[in-house]
Chain A
Amino acid sequence: MIWNYFLMAAGVSSASWILSAFIPKKDIIRNLLVLIGILSMAVYIGFLWTSLERPPLRTLGETRLWYSLFISIIGLITYFRWRYLWMLYYCLFMSLLFLFINYLHPENFSKTLMPALQSPWFVPHVVVYIISYAFLAASTLVAVYGLYQVKREKFEAKYMQVADNLVYLGFAFLTFGLLFGALWAKEAWGHYWTWDPKETWAFITWMGYLVYIHRRYQKPGKYVSALWILALAFVILLVCWFGVNYLPSAQFSVHTYSMQP
């Protein structure tokens, strides 16, 4: 049932989002279609939450659902704020991609949640990360687009302002993610920070964006190096998110729930 409803919700979202790409001129209809896609994901996550009797935030597949929801919401908000249509489509494409990965790899929808994860910190910890990752992913696209425009010698300073804004918002959420994690760890195990591989990589990610912010603050005119730093920081973020499990350091991580039987 959970799987069939997923197919239904993902189908509605995909159809409305893909359809919205074909009518870029009709503002209201397009926004409405995007909104329908978002609502369909939201309703499905709500359904999943109630039927699992726990927040659906445990497996990689479930996190992808949230990612899909938030990245499309943020895409719409960013569109309303900055009117970049390509950004909206990028976000919708990313959302679709995550739904598609879920479709290809159906996760085991098990009811089991280990006691250590049964904490009120769990949802905010993961949700702020997902919002943060969505902002930072969007900032990376601005960076790549900016580098492309630099090459074409059509770069405009306003791209930098969009990138800055997205990084600032993303970094604020990233900071919250780290701090929520630290407070949770203190509540659950009595220490804030254990340099668990996932924590280590989250910290590296944080430092990467810190370099970008400081570089921008000092030399606002030197945007090419800043754009490269931004693009590189996202590579680190991807290592933190997907890559950590494959590193030799990950054997002792507390963050690899999906590997447990």
Chain B
Amino acid sequence: MSKTTKPLWQNPWGYAESFLIAFGLLLIGFLLEFTIQSNSGTSIRYPMNLILGGVFLTLLLVFYGLLKKSKLYLFLSGIPASIGAISMLTLLVIIMGVTPQVPMQDKNLITKLSLNQLTTSWPFLFINFYLLVILAFVIIRKSFPFKWKNWGFVCSHLGLWITIFAAGLGSGDLMRLKMDLHENKTEWKAYDDKGNYYELPLAIKLNDFIVDEFNPKLAVVENETGKLYEPSKPSMIMIEKDLTAQLHNWSVTIGEFLPLSGRAGDKYHPLHDFGAAPAAKVSVSTNSAEALTGWISCGSFNRPHESLKLNDNYSLLMTVPEPKKFSSEVTIYTPDGKKEDKVLEVNKPQSVNGWKIYQLSYDEKMGKYSSLSVVEVVKDPWQIYVYIGIFMMMIGAIYMFWRGNKVTINSEQ
């Protein structure tokens, strides 16, 4: 073997230097984290983020203008540097993927190095910044002079750069607040995680809050512990009218099913009342014993639930129905005197005055009778730039799909 190896740090730099630099950045980051922990609460807001972004861009261009012939530029815009940075970021993200990312009170090595909150740590910031620099030089190198055959490359890489840049700088300007809407009341104040209140340039009146529910399910529980009994699957069966189903060893037949009912005397009657609950008349039989008949109900916030005792060990019960859809019918007022009727629903946010309004939750104890609807209001002025970046990456992906391995075949020639 007479393979000649280049001494470390002698030009041109290759993989060894690339990995050492990226690893060094991580090391410095962790040392910094160990000595002065980054404060996860601070974020750079407008106009500071815009200034910093501008300075960063200017520095990149100045560096390119002055040093485009240097070996450092060639290294930073080359593939070994990219692979080194990608690998070290991957290493960091793998740590993130294995350890739970939650705030912890204890003082130990994990919290000292912020391994439980890596996204707001120094090493994560350093490696991302380094990657952004490399990516910028890669794009510049491929773009000047511009050749049409490189458009797919530039599109995907620039898209990624814009996405990271805009999402990173924009995170300080992102406002995510909650609003508690009560039926027939108008609300214009929203609060953040720490309980600070903000006045919004809009007011929302909740006209009606509607929960659409699935039918409740049948389940068998252990009498002593109240635990779900599931020797066989399925252990829960959705109640339907005239359903006959096998639940473990029992054959269950639904005689009557009342979505809204109340108990009067020894049976349930249909009832359209505040707090009316689903109920079903069931017959249960086994091979050995004779049929057992009775009413079960999951109850509601003001009505008791009722189960059917199958034997000394087990009871049949009705589960609380799960929501199929919940939505808020609202009127939104803005300072210019306009008012608009809108419906807020999960996955269907509404945009008003630069704010996006999302249906979040409701009073789950009250279930379908909840008069409270919690919505989230989000303002993200940088969203459009992130979308441009994502859109460019999608075009890049289509290009990649179309060209396939022609990219490498060409580079071999």
A104 CA to B100 CA, complexed, in Å: 32
Contact with B along A109-132 (1 / 0, CB 8 A): 111101110110000000000000
A200-B167 in contact given A108-B234, A172-B398, A190-B378 (Cβ < 8 Å): no
Decide if B83 touches A214 in the complex (CB within 8 Å): yes
A201-B167 in contact given A116-B347, A214-B86, A215-B83 (Cβ < 8 Å): no
A142 CA to B412 CA, complexed, in Å: 20
Decide if A195 touches B347 in the complex (CB within 8 Å): no
In the assembled complex, which residues on chain A have CB atoms less than 8 Å from the CB atom of B79? 214-215, 217-218
A252 CA to B408 CA, complexed, in Å: 41
Q: Is A101 an interface residue (CB 8 A)?
A: no
Output the least CB separation between A176 and chain B (Å): 6
Decide if A115 touches B325 in the complex (CB within 8 Å): yes
Q: Is A23 an interface residue (CB 8 A)?
A: no
A210-233 contacts to B, CB under 8 A, are 210-211, 214-218, 220-221
Decide if A200 touches B390 in the complex (CB within 8 Å): no
Decide if B347 touches A115 in the complex (CB within 8 Å): yes
The chain A residue sitting closest to B78, CB to CB, is A218
The chain A residue sitting closest to B358, CB to CB, is A190
Q: Is A77 an interface residue (CB 8 A)?
A: no
Decide if A176 touches B394 in the complex (CB within 8 Å): yes
In the assembled complex, which residues on chain B have CB atoms less than 8 Å from the CB atom of A149? none
Contact with A along B389-400 (1 / 0, CB 8 A): 010011011101
A249 CA to B322 CA, complexed, in Å: 27
Q: Is B65 an interface residue (CB 8 A)?
A: no
Contact with B along A166-206 (1 / 0, CB 8 A): 00110111011001001100111111110101001101100
Q: Is B53 an interface residue (CB 8 A)?
A: no
Q: Is B148 an interface residue (CB 8 A)?
A: no
Instruction: Report which of B93, B383, B397, B404 forms a contact with A207, defined as CB distance below 8 A.
Output: B93
Decide if B322 touches A252 in the complex (CB within 8 Å): no
The chain B residue sitting closest to A113, CB to CB, is B324
A247 CA to B236 CA, complexed, in Å: 28
Q: Is B82 an interface residue (CB 8 A)?
A: yes
A230 CA to B378 CA, complexed, in Å: 40
In the assembled complex, which residues on chain B have CB atoms less than 8 Å from the CB atom of A203? 93
In the assembled complex, which residues on chain B have CB atoms less than 8 Å from the CB atom of A239? 97
A8 CA to B15 CA, complexed, in Å: 55
A29 CA to B243 CA, complexed, in Å: 45
Output the least CB separation between A4 and chain B (Å): 14
Q: Is B228 an interface residue (CB 8 A)?
A: yes
Q: Quick one: which of A182, A200, A221 has the most chain B CB within 10 A?
A: A200
Q: Is B9 an interface residue (CB 8 A)?
A: no
A188-B347 in contact given A111-B238, A115-B324, A168-B407 (Cβ < 8 Å): yes
Decide if B98 touches A161 in the complex (CB within 8 Å): no
The chain B residue sitting closest to A193, CB to CB, is B167
In the assembled complex, which residues on chain B have CB atoms less than 8 Å from the CB atom of A218? 78-80, 83
Instruction: Report which of A106, A172, A211 forms a contact with B233, defined as CB distance below 8 A.
Output: A106
Contact with A along B265-292 (1 / 0, CB 8 A): 0000000000000000000000000000
In the assembled complex, which residues on chain A have CB atoms less than 8 Å from the CB atom of B82? 214
Decide if A110 touches B347 in the complex (CB within 8 Å): no
Q: Is A258 an interface residue (CB 8 A)?
A: no
Decide if B401 touches A249 in the complex (CB within 8 Å): no
A25 CA to B4 CA, complexed, in Å: 51
Instruction: Report which of B322, B349, B383, B398 forms a contact with A112, defined as CB distance below 8 A.
Output: B322
In the assembled complex, which residues on chain A have CB atoms less than 8 Å from the CB atom of B238? 110-112
A179-B347 in contact given A207-B93, A211-B87 (Cβ < 8 Å): no
A192 CA to B396 CA, complexed, in Å: 19
A189 CA to B178 CA, complexed, in Å: 12
Decide if B358 touches A249 in the complex (CB within 8 Å): no
A187 CA to B86 CA, complexed, in Å: 29
Contact with B along A130-158 (1 / 0, CB 8 A): 00000000000000000000000000000
B85-103 contacts to A, CB under 8 A, are 86-87, 89-90, 93-94, 96-102
Decide if A164 touches B405 in the complex (CB within 8 Å): yes
In the assembled complex, which residues on chain B have CB atoms less than 8 Å from the CB atom of A248? 98-100
Q: Is A208 an interface residue (CB 8 A)?
A: yes
Contact with A along B377-392 (1 / 0, CB 8 A): 0101001001000100
Instruction: Report which of B78, B326, B356 forms a contact with A115, defined as CB distance below 8 A.
Output: B326
Contact with A along B344-363 (1 / 0, CB 8 A): 00110100000010100000
The chain A residue sitting closest to B326, CB to CB, is A115
A201 CA to B94 CA, complexed, in Å: 7
Decide if B393 touches A179 in the complex (CB within 8 Å): yes
Output the least CB separation between B23 and chain A (Å): 15
Decide if A119 touches B347 in the complex (CB within 8 Å): yes
A119 CA to B348 CA, complexed, in Å: 9
In the assembled complex, which residues on chain B have CB atoms less than 8 Å from the CB atom of A249? 96-101
Decide if A211 touches B86 in the complex (CB within 8 Å): yes
A216 CA to B412 CA, complexed, in Å: 10
Decide if B408 touches A217 in the complex (CB within 8 Å): yes
Q: What are 23 of the A-B contact pairs (CB < 8 Å)?
A: A111-B214, A112-B214, A116-B347, A119-B347, A161-B409, A165-B405, A171-B400, A172-B397, A172-B398, A173-B401, A175-B393, A176-B394, A179-B397, A188-B346, A193-B167, A201-B97, A214-B79, A214-B83, A217-B407, A249-B97, A249-B99, A249-B101, A252-B102
Q: Hey, which bits of chain A sit against chain B, CB under 8 A? A: 106, 108-112, 114-116, 118-119, 160-162, 164-165, 168-169, 171-173, 175-176, 179, 182-183, 186-193, 195, 197, 200-201, 203-204, 207-208, 210-211, 214-218, 220-221, 239, 244, 247-249, 251-252, 261
**7 tightest A-B CB contacts, nearest first:** A164-B405, A172-B401, A218-B79, A190-B378, A165-B405, A115-B346, A175-B397
Q: Hey, which bits of chain B sit against chain A, CB under 8 A? A: 78-80, 82-83, 86-87, 89-90, 93-94, 96-102, 119, 167, 174, 176, 214, 228, 233-236, 238, 322-326, 346-347, 349, 356, 358, 376, 378, 380, 383, 386, 390, 393-394, 396-398, 400-401, 403-405, 407-409, 411-412
Known interface pairs A109-B234, A168-B401, A175-B393; 13 further A-B residue pairs with C-beta atoms within 8 A, sorted by A's residue number: A108-B233, A108-B236, A165-B404, A168-B403, A168-B405, A169-B404, A186-B383, A187-B347, A187-B349, A192-B167, A195-B101, A203-B93, A207-B93
